[in-house]
Structure 1
Amino acid sequence: MTRNRKTRSSSKSNAATLFNRYVWLVDTIYRAGRITFEEINERWQRSSLNETSEELPLKTFHNHKNAIQQMFDINIECDRRGGYLYYIEHAEDMEQGGVRTWLLNTFAVNHLINESHHLKRRILFEEIPSGQRFLTQIIEAMRDNRTLEMTYQSFWNDTAHTFEVAPYCVKVFRQRWYVVACSTSDDRLRIYALDRIRELRTSEHLFVLPKDFDPQAYFADSFGIAVDEDYKPEQIKVRVSGIQRQYIRTLPLHASQQETKITDDSSIFEFYLRPTLDFQQELISQAANTDEWVEVLEPAWLRDQMKQVGINLAKAHNGTL
């Protein structure tokens, strides 16, 4: 038994080492753009992953390259006419988000920090408390197509309820993890925050993920995590003044965002999405700078609603509510 445990432990350690090498190789080539094998070898000898400073055999390099293609669906190509330079095929795809980019960025940053021990205390990250307890179990259930028995208590209920769901996908938003799951009792999709789960048990029941379920499409018309069908997607125009528009330019509120009109003191941004409560709250937070303003131009009902929020805030701070 002890020998088996040691064997499993050694196997996991070797797998982790290989995985880190794959990520290092992709990150090295991606950041270089185009790079020779000799340059890769030189950087490998200086890497903190290479404790013995040994060279990278060409055969090992090609084995890693093939494994990376299978694991990440990332092709490392060679430009033989340009001097045998290695590069990432369709590198522009790496900048379009998704789990592949997130995974590689996470490991690349982690590797950089490990190489710069004296900087660790000077690099601060946001914590996501809800991801620590249940995320792994949910992802494993997604992988194995098994349902989950969930005890859940929303902020709107005084008591928790237990029910069975089929986990379709997970999403992180504003430091919270969420799972989109289909209730086995009424066959409806709902979104559950992991920090409101009280207990979670993986069942023996299997489920089939619908072939037409597309997580990207499911959230395409939403600002954040709310997919509320009471709000239909519609065109929204917002005028933003001063420096505040720089924040919206560099960190778009939604994939549909377009800056359609620019003047010296303001810009008009257009969106096509569901103007749900979380989007309205985001507009209010963007308008919190008293020296500048955010004005909803269209649709009229949303403009009136935001106006009423402003009136209520003024009354509350004047003590007239």
Structure 2
Amino acid sequence: MKKDFYLTRYALIIKKLESAPATYAQLEDYLLNSFEFQDADIKSYSIRTLQRDIREISNLFNLSIHNKKKGDNRYYIESRPTMEVDEYNQKLLESFQVSNALNVHPDFSGYIFFESRKPTGVDHFYDLFFAIRNKRVVTFEHYNFKNKLMTSRKVHPLALKESKGRWYLIAIDTNDQLLKSFGLDRINYLDVSKTKFREKYRYNFREHFKNAFGVMNLTEQKPQKITLKCSRHQGEYIKSFPLHQSQNEIKETPEDIYFEFFLHPTYDFMQEILSYGKEVKVLEPKSLVDEIRNHLKESLNSYLED
């Protein structure tokens, strides 16, 4: 068994057991007939390897797998981690599956194409993660695109948030004690000090961002019901890849699909809607309709002025 193949085995075992319980023989047949095993030219999978994989899956993903269900010896996932950890597991499995495909086949460049835009700032990720877990005070220089200024910051780091391929640090700015977001791609001269902060902040970021689109919701703003009318063509795409976890399809006609959301009508969300052009129209709330209408008028005027 190839030593660098274990992550792929874990992903395949979890995928199989998530669909239905399976005996060792069924798991073995599933694995050996998978394209991953065929490409790696692996022709055997022992019960001993399965038992070892189950222990490692438990340690790595916090998934408890057993095979004593009603005496039929089928393996099944007995318990799942919390929703937060489950989301992390899914991201991890996706990364494993992609990275394994690239590692097994060094000639992937002729078949697999990545987005040409390169993310920046991720080199700070682990340092900030360490600072958050250990409550370390952090200092850095941060560039503001709007006023084009570089400012010195001293913060209490609390969380990391992803949005549209960018990572943000969520932290308390010690200058004014306000909760703010800082793009990792605009952070320079990062320093994680040995000084710890003792404040016990009571933010529940899962709740905090539950009704947010992007990372802009750091103020006390109430979420609203938002209704969209989408063309049938665009609506099918939005249906298959929801814009937000609160998305709910409320109506269909031969020409259109209607969706309802419950979130903060942030600038990020407005930009997302505008990106669909005439294919998506906001029906409510009126405040968001007016904001988009004014934005479109200003955009049109900027072209007419030319």
Aligned equivalents of 1:30, 1:173: Cα separation in 2: 27
Q: Is 1:31 the counterpart of 2:15 in the alignment?
A: yes
Aligned equivalents of 1:112, 1:25: Cα separation in 2: 13
Q: State the secondary structure of the residue aligned to 1:88.
A: strand
Aligned equivalents of 1:211, 1:81: Cα separation in 2: 47
Q: State the secondary structure of the residue aligned to 1:151.
A: strand
Q: Given the alignment, which residue of 295, 298, 305 partners 1:309?
A: 295
Aligned equivalents of 1:76, 1:214: Cα separation in 2: 30
In structure 2, the gaps of 5 or more residues are none
For 1:71, give the aligned amino acid: L
Q: Given the alignment, which residue of 239, 261, 280 partners 1:271?
A: 261
Name the structure 1 match of 2:144: 154
Supply the RMSD in Å over aligned alpha carbons.
3.4
Q: Deviations over 1:267-299 (max 9, x none)?
A: 221111111111111111112xxxx53222111
Q: Is 1:300 the counterpart of 2:289 in the alignment?
A: no
Name the structure 2 match of 1:217: 207
Q: State the secondary structure of the residue aligned to 2:67.
A: strand
Q: Is 1:84 the counterpart of 2:53 in the alignment?
A: no
Aligned equivalents of 1:137, 1:308: Cα separation in 2: 42
Q: Is 1:169 the counterpart of 2:155 in the alignment?
A: no
Q: Deviations over 1:161-216 (max 9, x none)?
A: 22221221112211211111122333321111011112101100123584743322
C-alpha change, 1:238 and 1:40, in structure 2 (3 Å) is closer
Normalised by the length of structure 2, the TM-score is: 0.82
Aligned equivalents of 1:50, 1:209: Cα separation in 2: 52
Normalised by the length of structure 1, the TM-score is: 0.78
Name the structure 1 match of 2:101: 112
C-alpha change, 1:262 and 1:54, in structure 2 (3 Å) is closer
Contact 2:16 2:27 in 1 (8 A): no
Q: State the secondary structure of the residue aligned to 1:186.
A: coil
Contact 1:128 1:175 in 2 (8 A): no
C-alpha change, 1:210 and 1:53, in structure 2 (3 Å) is farther
Q: Is 1:249 the counterpart of 2:239 in the alignment?
A: yes
C-alpha change, 1:236 and 1:65, in structure 2 (3 Å) is same
Contact 1:147 1:165 in 2 (8 A): yes
Q: State the secondary structure of the residue aligned to 2:133.
A: helix
Q: How do 1:10-29 and structure 2 match up within 5 A? A: 21=6, 23-29=7-13
C-alpha change, 1:211 and 1:67, in structure 2 (3 Å) is farther
Aligned equivalents of 1:85, 1:300: Cα separation in 2: 55
Q: How do 1:194-209 and structure 2 match up within 5 A? A: 194-207=184-197
Worse-superposed segment, 211-220 or 98-107: 211-220
Contact 2:213 2:244 in 1 (8 A): yes
For 2:186, give the aligned amino acid: R
Q: Note the C-alpha offset of 1:123.
A: 1.6
Name the structure 1 match of 2:114: 125
> How many matched pairs?
297
Q: Note the C-alpha offset of 1:108.
A: 2.5
In structure 1, the gaps of 5 or more residues are 1-16
Contact 1:228 1:276 in 2 (8 A): no
Contact 2:136 2:192 in 1 (8 A): yes
For 2:102, give the aligned amino acid: I
